[in-house]
Structure 1
Amino acid sequence: MKTLIVGASGAIGRAVSLAFREDHLLLHANQGHVTISRMIESERLQAELVTCDLSDREAVEKWIKSIDTVDRIIYVAGHAVHGLVVDQSIDELDHLYEVHVRAMVRLIQATVACKPYDHPLDIVIVSSVWGEVGAAAEVFYSTVKAAQIGFVKAFAREAGPFHVRINAVTPGWIDTPMNDTVEESKQTVMDDIPLGRLGSTEDVAKTIRFLCSSDASYMTGTVLRIDGGWQ
């Protein structure tokens, strides 16, 4: 199996890469290529490193022309921004859109268009719980994550006849470096989570692994929340 993981250098991306370590991996990064190279070596993965700035439209177009047929696409790439809408530049929203939505759509569009008709393709998009319920001070981030979910639900209906399944996961508070930058204390969050702990990157990776397995062969257009009952 050949699995493309977009955004493999982050904490969740690394966990997903290891969850699919038996596959031939195409691991994408932008600035995190050194991290991925070290992971490939230390974990002895059968993997190729791919670099591309997803906010650069020309770079994305050049990259997608080189992609061969794959069996799975897992789109983990993205970043969050914090602040009140009235204080933020619209350029920040544009940048989020390029990475979270436009690059994602172009990649999927190109991959589905060039694959053999009867070749099955599984796609999982890592969105966020904020794409479902929204978050104050993360309105721009919530907006693009909601767009990802809308795409998954609609494209699942269109792509099913072409042997394509697409699903999404919406993690809640996962214990990653990205969430270390949030001012709200971890203990306060944990007190609000019914299961009493933060999520781990492995929690997310295992759910993605399930969605790509034969056990989930009748699931498409599904959004699975991974938040310990938080939201």
Structure 2
Amino acid sequence: MGKTYALITGASGEIGQAIARELALQGHHLYLHYYQNKQAVEQLQFELSSDVECRLIKANLASPEGPGQLVEQLEQAIDVLVYNCGSSHSGLMTDVSDKELDSMVQLQLKSPFQLLQRILPSMITKKQGSIVMITSIWGQTGASCEVLYSMVKGGMNTMVKALSKEMAPSGIRVNAVAPGIIATKMNEHLTDEELEAISEDIPLGRFGLPEEVADAVGYLISPKSSYITGHILPVNGAWYC
């Protein structure tokens, strides 16, 4: 395999870091995107740079200018895109502000759409490429008090299904991984009692791990899944199946 470059958004979070490690093992050189936690991606860069090239990119994908700012920093054509954003929103639909609505729609729908518009032409020219979107179980089932988050993740799942059909003739595969509840800092607001209750509700009896999400992403990017496109792969321990 020649040099291939993978762009991972949200690489400063636990899931993003796990995905970066998995793609480095596969031999991809990496662009690691972040917005605020520079220290985390610098540590990840130091960890992985002895094996693959690692470059850092800062951009706010919750703003309209973010996709353009990100692409301006790319020095090579991208062969693999993993769109991973850890932002979520909880609360009653009637309490969602216009600012929160605009920010979430930009981050989870407009930015990946606009980013793909800029990245896809080089993939189409080469007749190859792989795209994996990190969506959510709530994008498949919906969740009370997470209507906004469910809406944008559901839209992302539909985008995957539609884009996979459009890109298949060009040899580009488009898939998604839809995690259930994963053991990350996003769950720090939950009490011990709430964490225990959720674990008991999951048929496998525990939260997922970031590495298990990364394993699913790695599979969808690898040649082992060469006939899989347009698929939403649940990683949820049979929770809310």
Residues 1:217 and 2:222 aligned together? no
Query: What's 2:67 paired with?
Result: 60
Secondary structure of 2:205's match? Answer: coil
TM-score, normalised to structure 2's length? 0.91
Query: What's 1:192 paired with?
Result: 201
Secondary structure of 2:57's match? Answer: strand
Match for residue 124 of structure 1 among 120, 132, 139: 132
Runs of 4+ deviating beyond 6 Å: none
Once the two structures are aligned, what percentage of the paired residues are identical?
33
TM-score, normalised to structure 1's length? 0.95
The residue type paired with residue 195 of structure 2 is K
Over residues 69-122 of structure 1, what are the superposed CA-to-partner deviations in whole Å (9 max), with x where a residue is unaligned? 121100112401111111221221110111111110111111112345234110
- Tell me if the contact between 2:79 and 2:123 (Cα under 8 Å) persists in the aligned partners: no
Secondary structure of 2:82's match? Answer: strand
- Tell me if the contact between 1:78 and 1:99 (Cα under 8 Å) persists in the aligned partners: no
Query: What's 2:56 paired with?
Result: 49
Q: How has the CA–CA distance of structure 1 residues 65 and 49 changed in structure 2, closer, same or farther, with 3 Å as cutoff?
A: closer
- Tell me if the contact between 1:168 and 1:224 (Cα under 8 Å) persists in the aligned partners: yes
Secondary structure of 1:57's match? Answer: coil
How far apart, CA to CA, are the structure 1 residues paired with 2:172 and 2:38?
Answer: 29
Secondary structure of 1:8's match? Answer: coil
Query: What's 2:85 paired with?
Result: 77
Aligned CA RMSD, in angstroms, stands at 1.5
Structure 1: 5+ residue runs without aligned partners? none
Over residues 107-147 of structure 1, what are the superposed CA-to-partner deviations in whole Å (9 max), with x where a residue is unaligned? 11111123452341100000000000011111111111001
Query: What's 1:28 paired with?
Result: 33
Query: What's 1:19 paired with?
Result: 22
Secondary structure of 2:125's match? Answer: coil
Residues 1:176 and 2:178 aligned together? no
Structure 2: 5+ residue runs without aligned partners? none
- Tell me if the contact between 1:78 and 1:100 (Cα under 8 Å) persists in the aligned partners: no
Match for residue 217 of structure 2 among 169, 184, 208: 208
How far apart, CA to CA, are the structure 2 residues paired with 1:81 and 1:116?
Answer: 35
Query: What's 1:10 paired with?
Result: 13
- Tell me if the contact between 1:12 and 1:205 (Cα under 8 Å) persists in the aligned partners: yes
